[in-house]
Amino acid sequence: MSTMISAIEPTTSWYLILAAVLFGIGAFGVLVRRNPLVMFMCIELMLNAVNLSFVALALSLDDINGQAVVLFVMVVAAAEVVVGLGIIVAIMRRRTGMTADDLTELKG
C-alpha cells in the first residue's frame, strides 16, 4: 500500500491573488520609501504583478492577446530600466543620501 501525496494544482484565482499581493507590496513601497532606487524597483514589481495577471487571464480565457500585451509591456519596461536606472545612478553618484524630493531640482 503506497501513499501518494496529491499535488494541488493552482488555479487562475491563485495567480490573481499573488498578483494583487505583489502589486500591493509595490504600491506600499512607492508610497513609503523615499529612496529613488527603491521606488524604481517597486514600480518594476508592480509592472510584473500586472504582467502576471495578464498571463493568468490569457491562459484562463485561452486567448493570446494578454500574452501579446505582456510582451509589449516587457519591452517598454526594459527601455525604462535602461534610461531610468542610468539617470538615477548618475544622480546618486553625485549626491549621497538623496531622496525622491531632491529630484525636483531636475526641472528646467
E strand segments, 1-108: none
Domains in the chain with CATH codes: 12-96 (1.10.287.3510)
Task: Of 29-33, 51-55, 99-103, give the lowest mean pLDDT range.
Answer: 99-103
- As a whole number, the mean pLDDT across the chain is 87
In the predicted structure, residue 1 carries a pLDDT above the cut 60: no
> Residues 60-106: pLDDT tens digits?
999 999 899 999 999 998 998 899 888 888 887 887 777 777 767 76
Query: SS3 of 2, please?
Result: coil
For residues 19-32, give the mean pLDDT: 96
Q: What's the first-to-final CA gap in the chain, in angstroms?
A: 76
Q: What's the CA gap between 95 and 104, in Å, rounded?
A: 14
Which of 30, 28, 12, 21 lies closest to 48, judged by CA? 21
pLDDT of residue 8: 81
